[in-house]
Amino acid sequence: MLHAENLTKSFDSLGVLRQVSLSVSQGEVVAIIGRSGSGKSTLLRCLNHLEKIDSGRICVDGEVMVDTDNGGYAPRDRLRSICLKMGYVFQNFNLFPHFSVLRNLTEAQMCVLKRSREEAVSRAEALLERVGLSDKRDQYPCQLSGGQQQRVAIARALALDPMILCFDEPTSALDPLLTKDVLTVIRDLARDNNTMIVVTHEMAFAREVADRVMYMEDGRIVTQGTPQEVFADEAVRTFTAG
Amino acid sequence: MKYFDNPERMLLLLQQLADGLGVTMSLFALTLLISLPLGLVFALFRMSKIKLLRFPVWLFILIMRGTPLILQVFTVYFVLPQIFGMSFDRMTAVVISFSINYAAYFAEIYRAGVEAIPQGQREAAHVLGMSRPQAFGRIILPQVIKRILLPVSNEVITLVKDTALVTAIGMVELYRVARNAASASGSLEPLFVAGLFYLVLNALLTAVFDWMGRKLDYYKG
Protein backbone atom coordinates (compact mmCIF):
# COMPACT_ATOMS: atom_id res chain seq x y z
CA MET A 1 0.00 0.00 0.00
CA LEU A 2 2.73 2.45 0.99
CA HIS A 3 6.41 1.99 0.29
CA ALA A 4 9.06 4.49 1.23
CA GLU A 5 12.72 3.80 0.59
CA ASN A 6 15.82 5.54 1.83
CA LEU A 7 14.18 8.83 2.63
CA THR A 8 16.55 11.59 3.63
CA LYS A 9 15.69 15.10 4.62
CA SER A 10 17.71 17.84 6.24
CA PHE A 11 16.89 21.32 7.40
CA ASP A 12 19.92 23.61 7.05
CA SER A 13 22.44 20.74 7.06
CA LEU A 14 20.75 19.21 10.12
CA GLY A 15 19.88 15.65 9.13
CA VAL A 16 16.29 15.02 10.22
CA LEU A 17 15.68 11.83 8.26
CA ARG A 18 18.59 9.52 7.48
CA GLN A 19 17.84 6.71 5.07
CA VAL A 20 14.43 5.87 6.46
CA SER A 21 12.51 3.06 4.80
CA LEU A 22 9.09 1.79 5.67
CA SER A 23 6.24 -0.18 4.19
CA VAL A 24 2.68 -0.24 5.32
CA SER A 25 0.29 -2.87 4.05
CA GLN A 26 -3.47 -2.81 3.69
CA GLY A 27 -5.34 -2.77 6.98
CA GLU A 28 -2.21 -2.32 9.02
CA VAL A 29 -1.95 0.15 11.90
CA VAL A 30 1.58 1.45 12.35
CA ALA A 31 2.54 3.54 15.35
CA ILE A 32 5.66 5.66 15.20
CA ILE A 33 7.14 6.59 18.56
CA GLY A 34 10.28 8.38 19.66
CA ARG A 35 11.57 11.51 21.37
CA SER A 36 10.73 15.00 20.16
CA GLY A 37 13.11 15.81 17.36
CA SER A 38 13.66 12.18 16.38
CA GLY A 39 12.15 12.89 12.97
CA LYS A 40 8.85 11.07 13.32
CA SER A 41 6.63 14.02 12.45
CA THR A 42 8.94 15.01 9.60
CA LEU A 43 8.65 11.48 8.25
CA LEU A 44 4.87 11.71 8.27
CA ARG A 45 4.96 15.17 6.68
CA CYS A 46 7.25 13.91 3.91
CA LEU A 47 4.91 11.01 3.18
CA ASN A 48 2.10 13.55 2.72
CA HIS A 49 4.13 16.00 0.66
CA LEU A 50 3.98 18.64 3.36
CA GLU A 51 7.77 18.59 3.17
CA LYS A 52 9.88 17.68 0.17
CA ILE A 53 12.40 14.90 0.65
CA ASP A 54 16.04 15.40 -0.36
CA SER A 55 16.38 11.90 -1.68
CA GLY A 56 14.53 8.60 -1.71
CA ARG A 57 11.43 7.11 -3.18
CA ILE A 58 7.79 7.13 -2.05
CA CYS A 59 5.21 4.95 -3.67
CA VAL A 60 1.52 4.93 -2.71
CA ASP A 61 -0.84 2.24 -3.96
CA GLY A 62 1.52 1.39 -6.82
CA GLU A 63 1.94 5.00 -7.95
CA VAL A 64 5.24 6.79 -7.61
CA MET A 65 4.86 10.05 -5.70
CA VAL A 66 8.56 10.79 -5.81
CA ASP A 67 11.71 9.01 -6.89
CA THR A 68 14.75 11.23 -6.67
CA ASP A 69 16.77 8.78 -8.79
CA ASN A 70 14.15 8.77 -11.47
CA GLY A 71 12.62 12.14 -12.31
CA GLY A 72 11.91 13.51 -8.85
CA TYR A 73 8.33 14.40 -7.87
CA ALA A 74 5.38 13.44 -10.06
CA PRO A 75 3.80 16.27 -12.10
CA ARG A 76 1.53 18.53 -10.09
CA ASP A 77 -1.86 17.01 -10.96
CA ARG A 78 -0.65 13.43 -10.57
CA LEU A 79 1.01 14.38 -7.30
CA ARG A 80 -2.25 15.82 -6.01
CA SER A 81 -4.23 12.70 -6.92
CA ILE A 82 -1.58 10.51 -5.27
CA CYS A 83 -1.63 12.64 -2.12
CA LEU A 84 -5.42 12.25 -2.04
CA LYS A 85 -4.92 8.57 -1.33
CA MET A 86 -3.62 9.73 2.02
CA GLY A 87 -5.57 11.51 4.71
CA TYR A 88 -3.85 13.64 7.31
CA VAL A 89 -4.83 14.72 10.80
CA PHE A 90 -2.80 17.50 12.41
CA GLN A 91 -1.72 17.90 15.99
CA ASN A 92 -3.53 21.23 16.22
CA PHE A 93 -6.53 20.26 14.05
CA ASN A 94 -6.27 23.12 11.54
CA LEU A 95 -9.99 23.25 10.96
CA PHE A 96 -11.18 26.11 8.77
CA PRO A 97 -12.49 28.65 11.30
CA HIS A 98 -14.69 30.52 8.85
CA PHE A 99 -16.62 27.39 7.85
CA SER A 100 -19.24 25.56 9.89
CA VAL A 101 -18.44 22.03 10.99
CA LEU A 102 -20.51 20.66 8.12
CA ARG A 103 -18.79 22.85 5.54
CA ASN A 104 -15.38 21.85 6.88
CA LEU A 105 -16.38 18.34 5.82
CA THR A 106 -18.08 19.13 2.53
CA GLU A 107 -15.81 21.79 1.00
CA ALA A 108 -13.05 19.50 -0.31
CA GLN A 109 -15.52 16.79 -1.29
CA MET A 110 -17.18 19.28 -3.58
CA CYS A 111 -14.27 21.31 -4.93
CA VAL A 112 -11.70 18.50 -5.11
CA LEU A 113 -13.69 15.29 -5.64
CA LYS A 114 -16.48 17.16 -7.50
CA ARG A 115 -19.20 15.47 -5.50
CA SER A 116 -22.65 17.02 -5.59
CA ARG A 117 -23.79 18.98 -2.57
CA GLU A 118 -26.34 16.31 -1.58
CA GLU A 119 -23.73 13.57 -1.79
CA ALA A 120 -21.16 15.59 0.17
CA VAL A 121 -23.66 16.53 2.87
CA SER A 122 -24.92 12.99 3.35
CA ARG A 123 -21.36 11.68 3.57
CA ALA A 124 -20.48 14.44 6.05
CA GLU A 125 -23.52 13.70 8.19
CA ALA A 126 -22.71 10.00 8.29
CA LEU A 127 -19.16 10.78 9.40
CA LEU A 128 -20.26 13.27 12.05
CA GLU A 129 -22.57 10.58 13.38
CA ARG A 130 -19.64 8.20 13.47
CA VAL A 131 -17.44 10.55 15.52
CA GLY A 132 -20.41 11.39 17.75
CA LEU A 133 -20.84 15.03 16.74
CA SER A 134 -24.04 15.11 14.71
CA ASP A 135 -25.44 17.84 16.93
CA LYS A 136 -22.50 20.14 16.11
CA ARG A 137 -22.95 20.26 12.35
CA ASP A 138 -23.97 23.92 12.20
CA GLN A 139 -21.55 25.21 14.81
CA TYR A 140 -18.20 26.83 14.12
CA PRO A 141 -14.86 25.30 15.18
CA CYS A 142 -14.30 28.02 17.81
CA GLN A 143 -17.43 26.81 19.60
CA LEU A 144 -16.05 23.28 20.05
CA SER A 145 -13.66 21.80 22.58
CA GLY A 146 -10.25 20.62 21.40
CA GLY A 147 -11.34 17.00 21.45
CA GLN A 148 -14.43 17.79 19.41
CA GLN A 149 -12.35 19.80 16.95
CA GLN A 150 -9.96 16.91 16.51
CA ARG A 151 -12.84 14.51 15.89
CA VAL A 152 -14.19 16.89 13.25
CA ALA A 153 -10.71 16.98 11.72
CA ILE A 154 -10.68 13.17 11.58
CA ALA A 155 -14.09 13.18 9.93
CA ARG A 156 -12.88 15.82 7.48
CA ALA A 157 -9.97 13.60 6.47
CA LEU A 158 -12.22 10.53 6.18
CA ALA A 159 -14.70 12.41 3.98
CA LEU A 160 -12.28 12.11 1.06
CA ASP A 161 -12.08 8.32 1.46
CA PRO A 162 -8.30 8.06 1.83
CA MET A 163 -6.65 4.65 1.60
CA ILE A 164 -4.24 5.52 4.38
CA LEU A 165 -4.96 7.82 7.28
CA CYS A 166 -2.04 9.60 8.94
CA PHE A 167 -2.15 11.10 12.42
CA ASP A 168 0.50 13.52 13.61
CA GLU A 169 0.36 13.41 17.42
CA PRO A 170 -3.43 13.72 17.33
CA THR A 171 -3.82 14.07 21.08
CA SER A 172 -0.78 16.15 22.03
CA ALA A 173 -2.77 19.37 22.17
CA LEU A 174 -5.52 17.85 24.33
CA ASP A 175 -6.00 17.26 28.03
CA PRO A 176 -6.37 13.64 29.19
CA LEU A 177 -10.16 13.66 29.29
CA LEU A 178 -10.52 14.93 25.72
CA THR A 179 -7.72 12.62 24.61
CA LYS A 180 -9.91 9.67 25.52
CA ASP A 181 -12.67 10.62 23.07
CA VAL A 182 -10.22 11.06 20.23
CA LEU A 183 -8.44 7.78 20.96
CA THR A 184 -11.80 6.00 21.01
CA VAL A 185 -12.48 7.24 17.49
CA ILE A 186 -9.04 6.13 16.27
CA ARG A 187 -9.48 2.77 17.99
CA ASP A 188 -12.80 2.25 16.17
CA LEU A 189 -11.13 3.10 12.88
CA ALA A 190 -8.45 0.52 13.58
CA ARG A 191 -11.08 -2.07 14.36
CA ASP A 192 -12.72 -1.38 10.99
CA ASN A 193 -9.50 -2.37 9.24
CA ASN A 194 -8.47 1.10 8.16
CA THR A 195 -4.83 1.49 7.18
CA MET A 196 -3.28 4.03 9.51
CA ILE A 197 0.04 5.56 10.48
CA VAL A 198 -0.04 7.18 13.88
CA VAL A 199 2.75 9.32 15.29
CA THR A 200 2.06 9.37 18.98
CA HIS A 201 3.32 9.88 22.51
CA GLU A 202 0.55 7.69 23.91
CA MET A 203 2.52 4.54 24.62
CA ALA A 204 -0.36 2.58 26.07
CA PHE A 205 -2.41 3.42 23.02
CA ALA A 206 0.37 2.41 20.62
CA ARG A 207 0.75 -0.87 22.48
CA GLU A 208 -2.96 -1.56 22.35
CA VAL A 209 -3.93 -0.48 18.84
CA ALA A 210 -0.85 -0.85 16.64
CA ASP A 211 -0.07 -3.94 14.61
CA ARG A 212 3.45 -2.68 14.30
CA VAL A 213 5.44 -0.11 16.27
CA MET A 214 8.43 1.81 14.95
CA TYR A 215 10.83 3.49 17.31
CA MET A 216 12.77 6.41 15.85
CA GLU A 217 15.92 8.04 17.10
CA ASP A 218 18.11 10.65 15.35
CA GLY A 219 16.24 10.39 12.07
CA ARG A 220 16.46 6.63 11.84
CA ILE A 221 14.06 3.80 12.57
CA VAL A 222 16.04 2.05 15.26
CA THR A 223 13.72 -0.82 15.90
CA GLN A 224 10.37 -2.02 14.70
CA GLY A 225 8.07 -4.98 15.16
CA THR A 226 5.01 -6.01 17.08
CA PRO A 227 4.27 -3.91 20.17
CA GLN A 228 5.48 -6.75 22.41
CA GLU A 229 8.82 -6.93 20.62
CA VAL A 230 9.41 -3.21 20.43
CA PHE A 231 8.44 -2.38 23.99
CA ALA A 232 10.76 -5.13 25.19
CA ASP A 233 13.68 -3.53 23.35
CA GLU A 234 16.37 -2.01 25.54
CA ALA A 235 16.51 1.40 23.79
CA VAL A 236 12.75 1.72 23.76
CA ARG A 237 12.52 0.82 27.43
CA THR A 238 14.98 3.58 28.27
CA PHE A 239 12.83 5.95 26.24
CA THR A 240 9.48 4.94 27.74
CA ALA A 241 10.91 4.98 31.22
CA GLY A 242 11.75 8.62 30.52
CA MET B 1 -21.68 85.66 10.43
CA LYS B 2 -22.17 85.76 6.69
CA TYR B 3 -23.87 82.44 6.05
CA PHE B 4 -25.28 81.03 9.25
CA ASP B 5 -27.70 83.93 9.69
CA ASN B 6 -28.57 84.20 6.00
CA PRO B 7 -30.69 81.25 4.82
CA GLU B 8 -30.78 82.36 1.21
CA ARG B 9 -27.02 82.65 0.97
CA MET B 10 -26.60 79.38 2.81
CA LEU B 11 -28.92 77.57 0.43
CA LEU B 12 -26.89 78.79 -2.54
CA LEU B 13 -23.69 77.66 -0.84
CA LEU B 14 -25.17 74.24 -0.12
CA GLN B 15 -26.14 73.85 -3.78
CA GLN B 16 -22.61 74.73 -4.89
CA LEU B 17 -21.12 72.37 -2.30
CA ALA B 18 -23.44 69.58 -3.45
CA ASP B 19 -22.07 69.96 -6.98
CA GLY B 20 -18.54 69.79 -5.58
CA LEU B 21 -19.51 66.77 -3.53
CA GLY B 22 -20.49 64.98 -6.75
CA VAL B 23 -16.96 65.38 -8.10
CA THR B 24 -15.43 64.34 -4.76
CA MET B 25 -17.66 61.25 -4.62
CA SER B 26 -16.86 60.15 -8.18
CA LEU B 27 -13.14 60.50 -7.51
CA PHE B 28 -13.54 58.58 -4.25
CA ALA B 29 -15.63 55.78 -5.78
CA LEU B 30 -13.49 55.36 -8.90
CA THR B 31 -10.30 55.27 -6.84
CA LEU B 32 -11.68 52.58 -4.54
CA LEU B 33 -13.10 50.57 -7.43
CA ILE B 34 -9.68 50.41 -9.06
CA SER B 35 -7.30 50.38 -6.09
CA LEU B 36 -8.96 47.62 -4.03
CA PRO B 37 -8.49 44.89 -6.69
CA LEU B 38 -5.27 46.43 -8.03
CA GLY B 39 -3.82 46.25 -4.53
CA LEU B 40 -4.49 42.52 -4.50
CA VAL B 41 -2.55 42.13 -7.74
CA PHE B 42 0.34 44.14 -6.26
CA ALA B 43 0.21 42.03 -3.11
CA LEU B 44 0.35 38.77 -5.08
CA PHE B 45 3.39 40.02 -7.01
CA ARG B 46 4.95 41.30 -3.80
CA MET B 47 4.58 37.82 -2.22
CA SER B 48 5.69 35.94 -5.33
CA LYS B 49 8.48 33.40 -5.02
CA ILE B 50 10.00 34.85 -8.19
CA LYS B 51 12.33 37.71 -7.40
CA LEU B 52 11.88 39.25 -10.84
CA LEU B 53 8.18 39.77 -10.06
CA ARG B 54 8.70 40.72 -6.44
CA PHE B 55 11.40 43.35 -6.83
CA PRO B 56 9.72 45.83 -9.22
CA VAL B 57 6.55 45.83 -7.11
CA TRP B 58 8.59 46.27 -3.94
CA LEU B 59 10.30 49.31 -5.51
CA PHE B 60 7.02 50.66 -6.83
CA ILE B 61 5.33 50.38 -3.44
CA LEU B 62 8.33 52.06 -1.81
CA ILE B 63 8.00 55.04 -4.16
CA MET B 64 4.21 55.24 -3.87
CA ARG B 65 4.29 55.22 -0.09
CA GLY B 66 7.51 57.18 0.17
CA THR B 67 6.68 60.31 -1.84
CA PRO B 68 3.88 62.85 -1.43
CA LEU B 69 0.64 61.95 -3.15
CA ILE B 70 0.40 65.49 -4.47
CA LEU B 71 3.75 65.06 -6.22
CA GLN B 72 2.45 61.87 -7.81
CA VAL B 73 -0.63 63.73 -9.02
CA PHE B 74 1.61 66.42 -10.55
CA THR B 75 3.74 63.76 -12.19
CA VAL B 76 0.82 62.00 -13.83
CA TYR B 77 -0.87 65.23 -14.89
CA PHE B 78 2.09 67.34 -16.03
CA VAL B 79 5.11 65.08 -16.58
CA LEU B 80 3.73 61.90 -18.16
CA PRO B 81 2.07 63.81 -21.06
CA GLN B 82 5.45 65.37 -21.88
CA ILE B 83 7.17 61.99 -21.93
CA PHE B 84 4.52 60.02 -23.78
CA GLY B 85 2.97 62.83 -25.78
CA MET B 86 -0.56 62.10 -24.61
CA SER B 87 -2.50 64.18 -22.19
CA PHE B 88 -5.13 63.23 -19.62
CA ASP B 89 -7.97 65.37 -18.51
CA ARG B 90 -7.75 66.30 -14.83
CA MET B 91 -10.15 63.62 -13.60
CA THR B 92 -8.36 60.81 -15.43
CA ALA B 93 -4.95 61.92 -14.19
CA VAL B 94 -6.19 62.18 -10.65
CA VAL B 95 -7.98 58.82 -10.69
CA ILE B 96 -4.83 57.15 -12.08
CA SER B 97 -2.50 58.64 -9.49
CA PHE B 98 -4.87 58.10 -6.56
CA SER B 99 -5.60 54.51 -7.63
CA ILE B 100 -1.98 53.39 -7.86
CA ASN B 101 -1.09 55.22 -4.67
CA TYR B 102 -3.89 53.62 -2.68
CA ALA B 103 -3.29 50.25 -4.32
CA ALA B 104 0.23 50.39 -2.88
CA TYR B 105 -1.13 50.88 0.63
CA PHE B 106 -3.84 48.23 0.17
CA ALA B 107 -1.21 45.81 -1.16
CA GLU B 108 0.73 46.04 2.09
CA ILE B 109 -2.44 45.63 4.14
CA TYR B 110 -3.41 42.55 2.13
CA ARG B 111 0.09 41.14 2.47
CA ALA B 112 0.04 41.57 6.24
CA GLY B 113 -3.38 39.87 6.30
CA VAL B 114 -2.26 36.92 4.19
CA GLU B 115 0.91 36.43 6.22
CA ALA B 116 -1.08 36.47 9.45
CA ILE B 117 -3.06 33.36 8.43
CA PRO B 118 -1.44 30.36 10.15
CA GLN B 119 0.58 28.09 7.87
CA GLY B 120 -1.58 25.19 9.12
CA GLN B 121 -4.52 26.51 7.10
CA ARG B 122 -2.53 26.20 3.87
CA GLU B 123 -1.30 22.76 4.92
CA ALA B 124 -4.84 21.60 5.71
CA ALA B 125 -6.02 22.77 2.29
CA HIS B 126 -3.05 20.98 0.72
CA VAL B 127 -3.66 17.62 2.37
CA LEU B 128 -7.33 17.88 1.37
CA GLY B 129 -6.17 18.05 -2.23
CA MET B 130 -7.00 21.68 -2.93
CA SER B 131 -4.93 23.43 -5.57
CA ARG B 132 -3.13 26.63 -4.60
CA PRO B 133 -5.76 28.87 -6.25
CA GLN B 134 -8.53 26.91 -4.51
CA ALA B 135 -6.78 27.19 -1.16
CA PHE B 136 -6.27 30.91 -1.65
CA GLY B 137 -9.80 31.67 -2.82
CA ARG B 138 -11.71 29.41 -0.43
CA ILE B 139 -9.56 29.23 2.68
CA ILE B 140 -7.07 32.10 2.86
CA LEU B 141 -8.81 35.10 1.28
CA PRO B 142 -12.09 34.84 3.23
CA GLN B 143 -10.11 34.83 6.47
CA VAL B 144 -7.92 37.69 5.28
CA ILE B 145 -10.96 39.90 4.70
CA LYS B 146 -11.92 39.75 8.35
CA ARG B 147 -8.40 40.62 9.48
CA ILE B 148 -7.89 43.56 7.14
CA LEU B 149 -11.25 45.23 7.59
CA LEU B 150 -10.00 47.70 10.20
CA PRO B 151 -6.82 48.88 8.43
CA VAL B 152 -8.74 49.08 5.13
CA SER B 153 -11.40 51.26 6.76
CA ASN B 154 -8.61 53.59 7.91
CA GLU B 155 -7.37 54.00 4.36
CA VAL B 156 -10.86 54.48 2.97
CA ILE B 157 -11.59 57.26 5.43
CA THR B 158 -8.25 58.90 4.67
CA LEU B 159 -9.10 58.71 0.98
CA VAL B 160 -12.27 60.75 1.50
CA LYS B 161 -10.17 63.59 2.91
CA ASP B 162 -7.25 63.15 0.49
CA THR B 163 -9.56 63.99 -2.42
CA ALA B 164 -9.19 67.64 -1.31
CA LEU B 165 -5.57 67.51 -2.58
CA VAL B 166 -6.69 67.69 -6.20
CA THR B 167 -7.42 71.41 -5.84
CA ALA B 168 -3.67 71.71 -6.49
CA ILE B 169 -4.13 70.94 -10.19
CA GLY B 170 -7.18 73.13 -10.42
CA MET B 171 -9.91 70.57 -10.07
CA VAL B 172 -13.13 71.90 -8.65
CA GLU B 173 -14.53 69.61 -5.98
CA LEU B 174 -16.00 69.97 -2.53
CA TYR B 175 -13.06 71.65 -0.84
CA ARG B 176 -12.31 73.95 -3.79
CA VAL B 177 -15.91 75.14 -3.94
CA ALA B 178 -15.79 75.95 -0.23
CA ARG B 179 -12.46 77.73 -0.53
CA ASN B 180 -13.70 79.81 -3.44
CA ALA B 181 -16.77 80.80 -1.47
CA ALA B 182 -14.59 81.60 1.52
CA SER B 183 -12.28 83.90 -0.42
CA ALA B 184 -15.18 85.59 -2.19
CA SER B 185 -17.02 86.26 1.04
CA GLY B 186 -14.05 86.75 3.34
CA SER B 187 -15.53 84.23 5.76
CA LEU B 188 -14.34 80.80 6.94
CA GLU B 189 -17.88 79.54 7.32
CA PRO B 190 -18.07 77.73 3.94
CA LEU B 191 -14.97 75.70 4.89
CA PHE B 192 -16.63 74.56 8.10
CA VAL B 193 -19.77 73.61 6.23
CA ALA B 194 -17.60 71.61 3.80
CA GLY B 195 -15.91 70.01 6.82
CA LEU B 196 -19.33 68.89 7.96
CA PHE B 197 -19.89 67.26 4.53
CA TYR B 198 -16.68 65.22 4.94
CA LEU B 199 -17.62 64.30 8.48
CA VAL B 200 -21.07 63.03 7.49
CA LEU B 201 -19.59 61.05 4.60
CA ASN B 202 -17.08 59.39 6.92
CA ALA B 203 -19.68 58.73 9.58
CA LEU B 204 -21.69 56.83 6.96
CA LEU B 205 -18.60 54.88 5.85
CA THR B 206 -17.76 54.07 9.46
CA ALA B 207 -21.26 52.71 9.93
CA VAL B 208 -20.85 50.52 6.83
CA PHE B 209 -17.53 49.14 8.10
CA ASP B 210 -18.98 48.52 11.55
CA TRP B 211 -21.82 46.62 9.95
CA MET B 212 -19.38 44.53 7.88
CA GLY B 213 -17.34 43.84 11.00
CA ARG B 214 -20.44 42.55 12.77
CA LYS B 215 -21.31 40.39 9.75
CA LEU B 216 -17.85 38.79 9.88
CA ASP B 217 -18.00 38.28 13.61
CA TYR B 218 -19.75 34.92 13.28
CA TYR B 219 -16.45 33.12 13.89
CA LYS B 220 -13.28 33.75 15.85
CA GLY B 221 -9.76 33.35 14.57
Percent of chain B with pLDDT over 90: 87
- A87 and B CB contact within 8 Å: yes
Distance from the Cα of residue B192 to its chain's centroid = 23
Type of residue numbered A151? R
User: Which chain B residues contact residue A111 at CB under 8 A?
Assistant: 130, 134, 138
Query: Rounded to an integer, what distance in angstroms lies between the CA atom of residue B110 and that of residue B44?
Result: 9
- pLDDT recorded at residue A167: 95
> Does A95 sit within 8 Å of B127, measured CB to CB?
no
**Per-residue pLDDT tens for A47-83?**
999 999 999 999 999 899 999 998 899 998 899 999 9
The residues in B 144-183 lying below 8 A from A, measured between CB atoms, are: 146
pLDDT band at B195 (very low <50, low <70, confident <90, very high): very high
- pLDDT recorded at residue B85: 82
- pLDDT recorded at residue B51: 93
Fold of A95-161: ABC transporter ATPase like fold (1.20.1580)
- pLDDT recorded at residue A242: 65
Measured in angstroms, the CA of B20 and the nearest CA of chain A are apart by 42
Q: What is the mean pLDDT of chain B?
A: 94
> For chain A, which residues make up each domain, given as ranges?
95-161
Question: Does the pLDDT at position A14 exceed 90?
Answer: no
Percent of chain A with pLDDT over 70: 100
Percent of chain A with pLDDT over 90: 76
Q: What is the mean pLDDT of chain A?
A: 92
**Per-residue pLDDT tens for B127-172?**
999 999 999 999 999 999 999 999 999 999 999 999 999 999 989 9
> Does A97 sit within 8 Å of B143, measured CB to CB?
yes
> Does B129 sit within 8 Å of A49, measured CB to CB?
no
Q: Among candidates A65, A48, B69, A177, which has minimal Cα distance to A56?
A: A65
Query: Rounded to an integer, what distance in angstroms lies between the CA atom of residue B202 and that of residue B148?
Result: 18
Query: Rounded to an integer, what distance in angstroms lies between the CA atom of residue B58 and that of residue B81?
Result: 25
The residues in B 184-213 lying below 8 A from A, measured between CB atoms, are: none
Q: Which of A10-14, A35-39, B59-63 has the highest mean pLDDT?
A: B59-63
> At A82, phi and psi to the nearest 5?
-70, -45
The residues in A 209-238 lying below 8 A from B, measured between CB atoms, are: none
pLDDT band at A12 (very low <50, low <70, confident <90, very high): confident
Query: Rounded to an integer, what distance in angstroms lies between the CA atom of residue B116 and that of residue A6?
Result: 36
Lowest-confidence segment of A11-15, A109-113, A145-149 by average pLDDT = A11-15
In chain A, whose CA is at the least distance from the CA of B122?
A94
Local structure of residue A74 (DSSP, 8 states): P
- A84 and B CB contact within 8 Å: yes
Interface pTM, i.e. ipTM: 0.92
- pLDDT recorded at residue B17: 94
**Per-residue pLDDT tens for B46-76?**
999 999 999 999 999 999 999 999 999 999 9
User: Which chain A residues contact residue B219 at CB under 8 A?
Assistant: 97-98, 140-142
Query: Rounded to an integer, what distance in angstroms lies between the CA atom of residue A189 and that of residue A131?
Result: 10
> Does B130 sit within 8 Å of A83, measured CB to CB?
no
Pairing mode of beta strands A29-34, A212-217:
parallel
- pLDDT recorded at residue B188: 92
Question: Does the pLDDT at position B16 exceed 90?
Answer: yes
